[in-house]
């Protein structure tokens, strides 16, 4: 039987990828985020966040930062 690796790779540094990496970091689980783009930045687009998304941001400890910039 093949053993699974304990290394975690997250493909994509979008909202979901960075949120997953943040959650793993909070739980002291090492991971690496891979992103194809050389530069990360704001694109001036808006997003809408569902109540479940707000719950996740709250769990990650990011809700106050979100309120400050929204």
- pLDDT tens digit sequence for 23-70: 899 889 999 999 998 887 777 777 888 999 899 889 888 899 888 988
Close Cβ partners of 42 (under 8 Å, ≥ 6 residues apart):
none
CA distance 15 to 26: 16
Q: What is the pLDDT of residue 35?
A: 95
Does the predicted TM-score (pTM) go above 0.85?
A: no
7 contacts: CB under 8 Å, gap ≥ 6: 30, 31, 32
CA distance to 61, 62, 64, per residue, from 67 (Å): 12, 9, 5
pLDDT of residue 70: 80
Q: What confidence category does residue 1 fall into, taking pLDDT thresholds of 50, 70 and 90?
A: low
Residue 2 pLDDT = 66
**Diameter over CA atoms, the chain:** 50
């Amino acid at each position: 039987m093949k053993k699974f690796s304990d290394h975690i790779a997250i493909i994509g540094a979008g909202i979901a990828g960075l949120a997953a990496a943040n959650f793993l970091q909070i739980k002291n689980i090492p991971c690496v985020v891979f992103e194809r783009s050389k530069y990360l930045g704001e694109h001036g687009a808006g997003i809408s966040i569902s109540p479940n998304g707000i719950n996740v941001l709250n769990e990650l400890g990011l809700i106050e930062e979100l309120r400050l910039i929204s």
